[in-house]
Amino acid sequence: MWKSYGGIVRRYPKISLSEERQLILKAQKGSKKSKDELVLRHVSFLIFRIYEVAFPSLIRSFGEELNNS
């Protein structure tokens, strides 16, 4: 399951603070492309939060199945 997000993470690497602020300004002005890019640039952080923080007991119980799906 998590491997399928690898392409997104590679295509949209982590964002610097200055880039993030520029995208936020554009998004506030109504740029849908900037809004989408902001979300996609934070996908790796979201995956980390889900994988490591939100469901640690599920990862411990079903980690192999989750990693292989």
What's the confidence (pLDDT) of residue 34? 92
Amino acid in the structure at residue 34: S
In this predicted structure, what is the pLDDT of residue 2?
Answer: 54
Distance CA(3)–CA(37), nearest Å, equals 20
Of 12, 69, 10, nearest to 42 (Cα)?
12
Question: By residue range, what is the domain housing residue 7?
Answer: 2-68
Q: pLDDT tens, 13-62?
A: 788 899 999 999 999 999 999 999 888 888 878 777 777 776 777 767 77
> How many independent structural domains does the chain possess?
1
As a whole number of Å, the CA-based R_g of the chain is 15
